[in-house]
Amino acid sequence: MARSDIRFLLGFEPIALNDVDPNQTVLDWLRESMALTGTKEGCAEGDCGACTVVLADVRHGELLYKPVNACIVFLPQLDGRQLITVEHLKGEAGEAHPVQQAMVDHHGSQCGFCTPGFVQALFAFSKQRSASDSLPTRADICNALQGNLCRCTGYRPILAASDALHTGPDDVFDVRKSQTIAALEKLDTTTPLVIQNRGRSYRAPISLEELATAIQEQPTATLLAGSTDVGLWVTKQHRTQDQLIDMTRVPELSRIEKAGDALRIGAACTYQDAHAVIAQAWPDFGELIRRIGGAQVRAMGTIGGNVANGSPIGDTMPALIALGSTILLRRGKQQRRLPLEDFYLDYRKTALQPGEFVVDIDIPTSNLELRCYKISKRLDQDISAVLGAFALAFEADQTVKDLRIAFGGMAAVPKRAINTERAMIGKPWNMATIKAGQAALAKELAPISDMRASASYRLTVAQNLLMKAFIETTAPETATRVLDVS
Ligand SMILES: Cc1cc2nc3c(=O)[nH]c(=O)nc-3n(C[C@H](O)[C@H](O)[C@H](O)COP(=O)(O)OP(=O)(O)OC[C@H]3O[C@@H](n4cnc5c(N)ncnc54)[C@H](O)[C@@H]3O)c2cc1C
Ligand code: FES
Ligand code: FES
């Protein structure tokens, strides 16, 4: 039996909605239907954080809080969750939440547009920490606020307010924790959702089999994971999505597990969930994920969505390709696994067939050392102009045993530089080999000029990134000599 109403907690109040428009955003619903106007619209594309709300899910008997951009989350994605807006933060006696009070005390409450979003992002951050965690560093706080822009550049008082939050008393959410968990568990998320309204449909199956069947029945439907790409199609490009199939309720798709000699990442696994495991195995890859969007985008956005979307400037693919990752595709009961590099056929054209979907991505946990670098105009919350990933292994005598190079932003698809690899494998890892590699890159890559960078800038950067990988993987004395020369 499927359900057609969506059920969630708004603050602490249970809500059941029938006849939901699957394309309506949480932001529009809050402001237009509920008159909860504390949540603001700045950009409507997930960039500014003015619309930040917090979602809480029950996981392993605990509440897991995440900040999300209400402007690009569709209403049915709330099903089974607690939605917390800035209006819900006050305490039992109406007092300001400790986060709000800290903002007032440190003059961090500057304009009405950005402040609710900053408060919500800080609130989510404070709820993600436990009493036993060491004090957050300034870098931790900046990460939590990466997705919130203040146009008057008044970040200093906001950071001062964040510093003041190092220790905080229990808030209303701690006091009501067990009631909230009990209320969420009553919402029945084990039933598939099937919504039909205004000529649009939204299906959220709960098993892999049901998902495969749903996608075969509606092969032209838009598959939905975190909606950090799809949401913008609706809000910015005004392309309504008449058939949506939400993949995020299928437990297998959110798993991260060891699978033989690989780390298996379920396609609907979010950046937030995958970050720690990936960062431990490949620190540069962890840093790359830390720079994807802001905390709100990483809380919803998935690695599977990045890979399937197939943008030539998607950030995870060069790193995944350099590490030799494979991708499992499924249509009905049929499955096939391909090297990720073979998935990309042309500009935004992938090997995905109608009715097919991505199940997981296997990243070999070989001895390849990964270096990867994202080059963008801003360090945080920006799209790459070039992304270079270099996976390396050396013989005992420092000749190159294995080398896999992949770039984003250098072609119509995320692409390996195979000729360059061939020019360098078996050679000593020294300056002459790097120079030969740089020359090979110039022959092999044909970047385009666009608003992010010119073709010549991109090529120079790609060559310099090879040099950077060399310097970083070379003994400090040699690296210093190299730097002296250049
Ligand atoms: C403010 C902002 C900042 C961003 N910054 C970055 C950035 O720094 N780097 C970057 O690379 N990207 C960035 N993005 C883009 C986006 O966040 C990523 O591409 C993200 O990984 C998409 O994942 P998702 O789960 O949200 O995908 P969705 O939006 O749900 O889906 C994206 C596409 O993938 C398809 N899809 C999803 N899952 C599957 C599946 N399992 N099988 C088949 N098809 C599937 C969907 O049908 C859709 O075509 C940013 C986006 C925003 C809004
Ligand atoms: S309105 Fe700017 S992120 Fe949502
Ligand atoms: S706080 Fe809104 S512009 Fe700075």
The pLDDT value recorded for residue 480 is 61
**What average pLDDT does the chain have?**
94
pLDDT range class, residue 34, cuts 50, 70, 90:
very high
The pLDDT value recorded for residue 479 is 60
pLDDT score of 172 more than 70: yes
The pLDDT value recorded for residue 485 is 47
| Beta carbons within 10 angstroms of residue 141's beta carbon | 19
pLDDT score of 164 more than 80: no
Q: Which atom of ligand 1 is nearest to the CA of 359?
A: 41
What residues are paired with 5 via a beta bridge? Answer: none
Cα-Cα end-to-end distance for the chain: 68
Sign of the dihedral defined by the CA atoms of residues 18, 23, 28, 30, in that order? positive
Q: For residues 33 and 329, give the distance between their C-alpha atoms in angstroms, rounded to a whole number.
A: 40
**Strands 13-17, 6-10: pairing kind:** antiparallel
Q: What one-character-per-residue DSSP string does 115-134 give?
A: HHHHHHHHHHHHHT--TTSP
Q: For residues 9 and 180, give the distance between their C-alpha atoms in angstroms, rounded to a whole number.
A: 9
Q: Is 151 in the pocket of ligand 3 (CB under 6 A)?
A: yes
Q: Is 213 helix (H, G, I), strand (E, B) or coil?
A: helix
pLDDT score of 478 more than 70: no
For the chain, what's the residue count? 486
CATH number of the domain to which 112 belongs: 3.10.20.30
With a pLDDT cut of 70, the percent of the chain lying above it is 97
Chosen domain end from 156, 185, 214:
185
Q: Which atom of ligand 1 is nearest to the CA of 291?
A: 8
The pLDDT value recorded for residue 483 is 57
Residue list, ligand 1 pocket, CB within 6 Å: 45-47, 222-230, 232, 247, 267, 292-293, 297, 300-302, 304-306, 308-309, 314-315, 357-358, 383
Tell me the pLDDT tens digit for each residue of 369-388: 999 999 999 998 899 999 99
| Beta carbons within 10 angstroms of residue 111's beta carbon | 12
Nearest CA to ligand 2 atom 3: 46
Q: For residues 401 and 394, give the distance between their C-alpha atoms in angstroms, rounded to a whole number.
A: 5
Q: Which atom of ligand 2 is nearest to the CA of 72?
A: 4
Cβ neighbourhood burial of 181 (10 Å; 0-12, 13-18, 19+): middle
pLDDT range class, residue 1, cuts 50, 70, 90:
confident
CATH number of the domain to which 395 belongs: 3.30.390.50
Q: Is 103 in the pocket of ligand 3 (CB under 6 A)?
A: no
Q: Is 152 in the pocket of ligand 3 (CB under 6 A)?
A: yes
Instruction: Check if the beta carbon of residue 147 is closer than 8 Å to that of residue 92.
Output: no
pLDDT score of 486 more than 60: no
With a pLDDT cut of 90, the percent of the chain lying above it is 89
Starting from the CA of residue 151, give the closest ligand.
3
* 321 domain-assigned: no
* 375 domain-assigned: yes
CA of 154 to the centre of ligand 3 (A): 6
Q: At what angle do helices 271-281 and 283-290 cross, to 10 degrees?
A: 150
CA of 198 to the centre of ligand 1 (A): 26
Residue 223's nearest CA partner among 329, 333, 297 is: 329
Tell me the pLDDT tens digit for each residue of 81-122: 999 999 999 999 999 999 999 999 999 988 889 999 999 999
The pLDDT value recorded for residue 129 is 86
Residue list, ligand 2 pocket, CB within 6 Å: 41-44, 46-51, 69, 71
* 322 domain-assigned: no
CA of 306 to the centre of ligand 2 (A): 20
* 320 domain-assigned: no
* 345 domain-assigned: no
Tell me the pLDDT tens digit for each residue of 189-202: 889 999 999 899 99
CA of 443 to the centre of ligand 3 (A): 47
Q: For residues 167 and 161, give the distance between their C-alpha atoms in angstroms, rounded to a whole number.
A: 12
The pLDDT value recorded for residue 5 is 96
Q: For residues 48 and 18, give the distance between their C-alpha atoms in angstroms, rounded to a whole number.
A: 31
* 379 domain-assigned: yes
Tell me the pLDDT tens digit for each residue of 289-298: 999 999 999 9
* 469 domain-assigned: yes
The pLDDT value recorded for residue 482 is 59
CA of 297 to the centre of ligand 1 (A): 9
* Segments in 253-394 forming alpha helices (H): 271-281, 283-290, 295-300, 303-309, 316-322
Nearest CA to ligand 1 atom 8: 292
Chosen domain end from 135, 168, 185:
185
**Among the listed ranges 17-21, 135-139, 160-164, 339-343, which one has the minimum average pLDDT value?**
160-164
The pLDDT value recorded for residue 134 is 83
The pLDDT value recorded for residue 369 is 95
Chosen domain end from 149, 167, 185:
185
pLDDT score of 167 more than 70: no
pLDDT score of 484 more than 90: no
Q: Which atom of ligand 3 is nearest to the CA of 114?
A: 2
The pLDDT value recorded for residue 189 is 83
Task: Provide the domain count of the chain.
Answer: 2
pLDDT score of 417 more than 90: yes
Q: For residues 155 and 139, give the distance between their C-alpha atoms in angstroms, rounded to a whole number.
A: 14
The residue range of the domain holding 376 is 369-485
The pLDDT value recorded for residue 188 is 83
Q: At what angle do helices 455-472 and 431-444 cross, to 10 degrees?
A: 150
Rounded to an integer, the average pLDDT of 315-323 is: 98
Instruction: Check if the beta carbon of residue 245 is closer than 8 Å to that of residue 205.
Output: yes
CA of 70 to the centre of ligand 3 (A): 19
> Backbone phi, then psi, for 415, in 5-degree steps?
-140, 140
Rounded to an integer, the average pLDDT of 141-150 is: 95
Q: For residues 445 and 460, give the distance between their C-alpha atoms in angstroms, rounded to a whole number.
A: 11
Tell me the pLDDT tens digit for each residue of 418-475: 999 999 999 999 999 999 999 999 999 989 898 899 999 999 999 999 999 999 999 7
Cβ neighbourhood burial of 246 (10 Å; 0-12, 13-18, 19+): buried
The pLDDT value recorded for residue 366 is 83
pLDDT score of 79 more than 60: yes
**Strands 62-69, 52-59: pairing kind:** antiparallel
Q: Which atom of ligand 1 is nearest to the CA of 314?
A: 11
Q: Is 111 in the pocket of ligand 3 (CB under 6 A)?
A: yes
pLDDT score of 361 more than 80: yes
Q: Which atom of ligand 1 is nearest to the CA of 223?
A: 47
Instruction: Check if the beta carbon of residue 272 is closer than 8 Å to that of residue 296.
Output: no
The pLDDT value recorded for residue 75 is 98
Instruction: Check if the beta carbon of residue 66 is closer than 8 Å to that of residue 272.
Output: yes
* 386 domain-assigned: yes
